[in-house]
Amino acid sequence: MKAQLVFATNNKHKTQEIQLLLEGQYEVLNLSDIGCDEDIPETGNSFAENASLKSSYVVTKFQLDCFADDSGLEIEALNNEPGIYSARYSGVRDDRQNLELVLHKLNGVANRNARFKTVISLNHKGGHFLFEGVINGTIRHIPAGDQGFGYDPIFEPSGYDITFAEMTMDEKNRISHRARAMKQLIAFLQEQVSPS
C-alpha cells in the first residue's frame, strides 16, 4: 500500500504536478480530499513561514502528516516583488491581472532578471523540515505559450529560449523550482523516513 501524504493545497495544477513528480510512490491527498475547506491564513513574511503555517495547520487540526509549499516570482528590478504576494499581486487571485501588472511595472526597465522560488514545509512523524528550490530566468516583454499557470507565459528560464508556458508539463517538471524542492523532499522521505 502506498504511503499517504497530505499536500496542503486546493490548487489542482500544483497537485497534478506533484503527483507526476512522485511517480506513483505516494498517494497525494489535497485539502478537499481530507475535508478541509478552510482558507488557511498565509500571514507569514516569507515563503518558509507561509508554508510552515499551512503544514502545521493540517497536522494540528487533522492529525495527518502533511507538506505544504509556498512559491512565488521574485523580480530583481522590483525589489523581489511580487514574492510572497505572487498569487494576489494585483489585489485579486487572477493570473492575467497579476501578469499584466508585472509587465506594466517593468515597462521600459532593462533589467529583466527574475527567479521562481519554492519552499516546502514537511511535518512528518513529529519533525519539521524545509526544502527550497530556485530557478533563475528573465521576464519576457510579451507573454508566450498556453501551458502552465500564473506567470509561466512571461518567465523564460535561464538556458532556454522558451517560456514555462511553452513547455509541456513534463519538460517544466524536470527543471522547475517546485520540482527542485520536491526532489529534495522525496529524497529525504526515501532516505530518512522509510514509508510504512
Tens of pLDDT, residue by residue over 32-63, are 999 998 888 889 999 999 999 999 999 999 99
**Would you say 154 and 84 are in contact if contact means Cβ atoms under 8 Å apart?**
no
Task: Choose among 44, 48, 2, 39: nearest CA to 24.
Answer: 2
Q: One of 65, 70, 95, 146 is an active-site residue; which one? A: 70
Burial pattern 14-30, b for ≥16 Cβ within 10 A else e, equals: bbebbeebbeeebebbb
The beta-strand segments (E) located in the chain are 3-7, 26-30, 66-75, 81-82, 113-124, 127-139, 155-157
Catalogue all structural domains in the chain, each as residue range(s) with its CATH number.
3-191 (3.90.950.10)
How much is the pLDDT for 189?
79
Q: Is the pLDDT of residue 194 over 70?
A: no
pTM of the model: 0.86
How much is the pLDDT for 24?
66
pLDDT in tens, 60-119: 999 998 999 999 999 999 999 999 999 999 999 899 999 999 999 999 999 999 999 999
Instruction: State yes or no: is 70 an active-site residue.
Output: yes
